[in-house]
Structure 1
C-alpha cells in the first residue's frame, strides 16, 4: 500500500513515517505540504491518505470529499488537533476511515493506524458521542412512523419494500423518508445506513 501524507508539521511527519515504516503492508510514504498541487498525484496507486487539518481547511475538506466520491477504496485518515465537531460531522458523511485529534501517545497512535490499515475505522470518541447526541436529539423529533421507517431504511429496504411491510403506499413512504432526511440532515440512504451502523462503538 502506498501512502500520501499531507502534513504541515514536521513533528507529525516524523511520527507518521516512524510508525508506518513498521507496517509490513506499507510500500511507500510520500509526504507533501498542503500547498502541493494534489492534481499531480496518481490516485490509482494510492491506498491511504493521511491529512493534518489545521488552518485553511475548506479546500482540503472539499478535496477529501472529492477523493471519496471518485476513489472510495482509498482509506482517508484526518488528524484535527483542534477537535472541531462541525468538521467531524461533515467528514464522516464521506465515510472517511479515521478522525484523530491527537497523537500524544505513540503506541496508541500506532495501534489506531494498524486497525485502520487492516480495514477498521476509528473516530475520536468524544466527537463521535457528541455527534450521536445531536442526531439522537433529532431522532427524538421524529414521529413513531418516521422512526419505524428510519430503522427499515437502515436495514437496506427500499420504499416499495417498506410500504409492503407497513401496509402503506410507496408514495407515503417517500414523503416520510424526505421528512426524515430533512430533520436529521441526511442526504442519502447510504448515510442513514452508515449512521445506524456506527452507533455502538468507536471501532467498526
Structure 2
C-alpha cells in the first residue's frame, strides 16, 4: 500500500515517538511527517483528559500551512462556538482508541448540512477530517486530528492505514508520559479548562502575561493581531474574575501555577 520512501517516513515517525523526550517536540515532528504522508494542511495533536463524560484537550501542538491568526481563530472556534456541535466528539468517549475519518462517522449528506460542517470546516477551507482518539487501558490520553483542503479530496484508505499503523505506538508513548506526569502541568491545564472554561490559547496567553509580556509583545510572539490579544486577555480576566494584571499574577501564584509555563 505504501511506497518504500513512505515506509521510511513512517518508520522515522515511530523512532520520533520513542526517542524524542520532549512531548511537544515529539508531537510537532509527528505532525510534520504526517503532513508529508497525507497532504493535510492543518493538524493538531493534543493531550487529553476525560472527566464526567466531558473531554478536555490540553497542551495542543499545531502544524499548518496557515498564519498564526488563522490557527488561533480555527482552534478558538472549535473550543467555543462549535464544541457542542462537533458530530465526531462522541469518538472521544469510547474506551478504546479509534482511527476515523469524519465522512465515515455519519451519513455524508446529513453531515454536509450541519452548521459544524458548513459554517466551520467548509468555511475555513478544511472540510475533510481524520484522526485518532488515543486511549490506553480505558483512559483517554489525547487526540491527533488532521484536516485537508476541499480540492485535496477526502482522506484515503492509505491515510487511515498510516494512522492505524501509528496508533499503538502513540498509545504506548502517551501512556508512559501520563504515568510519569502525575499531577504535573497537564493536570493544571485541565483544571484551568474544566474549572474556568479557558481555551488552550487563553492558557498560553495567561502564561505570557504572567511573565510580564505586554499585549504587543504577546501579539508578536504568537503572530496574531494585538486586538486579538486584547480580546483574549479580556476573556481571561472575566473567567478568572480579576480586573488587572497584578491580580492575574497573584491568581497564578495563589494557585501554584507558575511552573505551568
Normalised TM-score (structure 2): 0.25
- Greater helix share, structure number: 2
Of structures 1 and 2, the one with the larger relative CO (CA 8 A, separation 6+) is 2
Normalised TM-score (structure 1): 0.30
- Greater strand share, structure number: 2
